[in-house]
Structure 1
């Protein structure tokens, strides 16, 4: 009973004098958060994302003003330099700290940059993890109309961002290639008048790719993004089509694209299914064999029709984390042999940890990328906060529908009632469980994931799969860097895009 009473006493808020130092331990605490890495180490992270790994128990001594700069000059100096503590109530370099914080959030400066156009729902694949209600190739009534394309372009060009990305999705986008050409030609003309720079991307499975399409892409600097789930026995099982040759057509399409457009003109994404979980090494090797210098290891998305096939698509987050760590160690082994090859999700996190600059990955931004960085125009004219939002809509859930191209203005969509409602949960700095998390600066807010998995846009961090995955992966990356300097050098080379480690 005495021990329980002591624990309860320790939970009470201390008086202000408790946090003030005296004599040789006089210093002021700056905002920081902390987390236990393992039994021997804990990590403290500043408001701008600088981190310091220290021995377990150090945080308690810092807060208790038990550090002496004369006895521990190196630790004390690191804490001062990292803005964890200050010898003055207001640090003399507070303006530097403010500038660094603004830099971290500078991805907000231009507002929405990525505009997704679902040009068609038609598709000749029947992928068992497809997140939307695809239709057969002959149903062109599920293509985006010219009128909706025009209105989507007009809204896109109202964005204050001078650098825009126009991404065409499906279904299989190339089945409506004539609509893509129409959209690009109109955008080119209007963007020149408004002094906007537009990058064009087509998401495609490559099955219907031909020389004419590639010639147009070459002429107009169009990039291609495809799916590659691993070796043939995995890819063909995950991404079925008549003839069971999805893998063969994908590999052929990658080769054709590189031959015409160049090696950097095509990227690929993989989706981790239950089948994938058993083959992390083979999947990594396949990407390397196909000439890619990176891979994005991503879990199944918990949206739309992908949830209907639980046997193939549903698994515990811990299983994905084990899969990820095994694959990452295999990738690190490649680099230790002098072969530059990186994991994209780790690279995004590492950029947030090791550099003062923002990243453009919407899932790890705060405020979240929905609306502030990405918006989607569906084939039927409906406007959604993100790609995941329209996946929910395919299951008749319109929670994240922002408006419609036929009757909604730019003001209605981006500053309307729905956008304002979502804005309350877009920042992890104000979310319970996130506000005090050590990894807040490296993570993001995902209200759509919260809603899809927990039925609430605020979410509940103790049972959040988004939180579970990111906390462990961030912790693991920091631990790897701190305990093996050769791995840290490899990670730094991924950020620099420089193969010399």
Structure 2
């Protein structure tokens, strides 16, 4: 006896595009592709999809097809769209170095125990950058093919060498009449030396200020002591003066998480609200400089910071729900990598790493480093990320050096053990300096990597909020 023809359905006919998958919780899995698209699906659906047995009528089939995980006879254009998205996300590599960091001095008037740059005493002028090195660094800066150039001044306390900053800004502005770049300036400063003259200069040249605010007065003062003064009061008063002179969006702030911060994340966030900030970066401590010598970086674990982050993000989402717009910057960077066509150009999460090709550092002594963390590592005696010297090496020699090329080769996660199969690969990038500092080599053993633990924990948490909390999803997507 033959069954009716309607009972027979052809087997699904589709091809799989490259993807990775991993478990979230229970029987829920995440699948990601090379352009950062993701789908959360059950184990049953994952097995059916991978075995090419998922019905075209299934809702999961439609989600996977729309995000280019599969293509069938009705969607051959999907492969071309996938290639276009991949090219779009990688196009920043052709732009080359956009961020140029000038370390104008290592001198500083603060005594932060977690200082990552091995500051020097105020009076030690031999730790200032010379005008000759500044000129040579500017020559390198304008050799970059990037249409956008950001010049960032760092220290120590950069304003202790403001006359050199003035010279570099004026000289760069003059050079840019020929090069016609989108030229931007940022001064990283604790604001203690912010004068009316400096504010007037910043207004004239549209300079942005970046400072540090670790939380309420008692916490900030304990972590960022300054001789004979209240560093918190000095900072918040300078922030207000800068906003009056330069505009409400002229000052950004960063906090650093120490052991003393761990139980106070809500208070820290509330301090940012009190000071009328609308973004905060819940930044963990990095293993460089005095942070290592004073053992500050060992006083809490990745798990401690992740719990701090989760509580902080919950508080931020609550504030948004109450009508105060506040964005957590690390989360925002990850969301850009997940949902923005171009991903994020945040240097520390690039693939290959942003060292050299995303950012480059001209140190006070003329040494050139592949990243800011690379020069911090050098102050600890490890010169693995030193590319050359302004007085001795050409731009071509530095940018094609074996040091840079070998590190870039090492920082392609697609070929790294444990990274190549990880579903979070499109969102992680690589941090070779961190792995060199903590595990002894630029690649590191991912099973022991604090970087990996942090990334995976944060991404699992954020994806959980996106999938399970409609109000949180609406707020988070608003940060992209």
Report the TM-score when normalising by structure 1: 0.92
Does residue 1:465 correspond to 2:446, yes or no?
A: no
| Matching residue within 65, 70, 93 for 2:52 | 65
Aligned to 1:301: 286
Does residue 1:26 correspond to 2:13, yes or no?
A: yes
| Matching residue within 399, 407, 422 for 1:437 | 422
Aligned to 2:260: 275
Contact 2:45–2:60 (8 Å) recurs in 1: no
Does residue 1:208 correspond to 2:204, yes or no?
A: no
d(CA) in 2 for partners of 1:478 and 1:354? 12
Does residue 1:53 correspond to 2:40, yes or no?
A: yes
Superposition deviation, residue 249 in structure 1 = 0.7
| Matching residue within 384, 388, 400 for 2:373 | 388
Contact 1:107–1:359 (8 Å) recurs in 2: no
d(CA) in 2 for partners of 1:487 and 1:293? 17
Aligned to 1:9: none
Superposition deviation, residue 243 in structure 1 = 2.2
Contact 1:352–1:441 (8 Å) recurs in 2: yes
Aligned to 1:246: 231
Does residue 1:161 correspond to 2:146, yes or no?
A: yes
Q: Which runs of 4+ in 1 moved over 4 A?
A: none
Q: Per the alignment, do residues 171 and 204 of structure 1 end up closer, same or farther by CA in structure 2, a change over 3 Å counting?
A: same
Aligned to 1:316: 301
Aligned to 2:128: 143
Superposition deviation, residue 88 in structure 1 = 5.0
Does residue 1:124 correspond to 2:109, yes or no?
A: yes
d(CA) in 2 for partners of 1:341 and 1:129? 26
* 2:478 aligned counterpart, secondary structure: helix
* 2:80 aligned counterpart, secondary structure: helix
Question: How many residues matched?
Answer: 472
Does residue 1:41 correspond to 2:28, yes or no?
A: yes
d(CA) in 2 for partners of 1:89 and 1:440? 29
Aligned to 2:61: 76
d(CA) in 2 for partners of 1:351 and 1:44? 18
Superposition deviation, residue 490 in structure 1 = 0.6
| Matching residue within 342, 351, 355 for 2:340 | 355
* 2:343 aligned counterpart, secondary structure: coil
Does residue 1:340 correspond to 2:325, yes or no?
A: yes
Superposition deviation, residue 270 in structure 1 = 0.5
d(CA) in 2 for partners of 1:63 and 1:197? 47
Contact 2:114–2:296 (8 Å) recurs in 1: no
d(CA) in 2 for partners of 1:284 and 1:313? 24
Contact 1:300–1:313 (8 Å) recurs in 2: no
Give ranges in structure 2 of 5+ residues lacking alignment: 1-8
Higher alpha-carbon deviation: 57-66 or 371-380: 57-66
Aligned to 2:241: 256
1:60-97 per-residue CA deviation (whole Å, 9 max, x = no partner) reads 22222332224x2x222222222212225993332211
Report the TM-score when normalising by structure 2: 0.95
Superposition deviation, residue 196 in structure 1 = 2.1
| Matching residue within 405, 424, 432 for 2:409 | 424
d(CA) in 2 for partners of 1:312 and 1:418? 27
Aligned to 2:88: 103
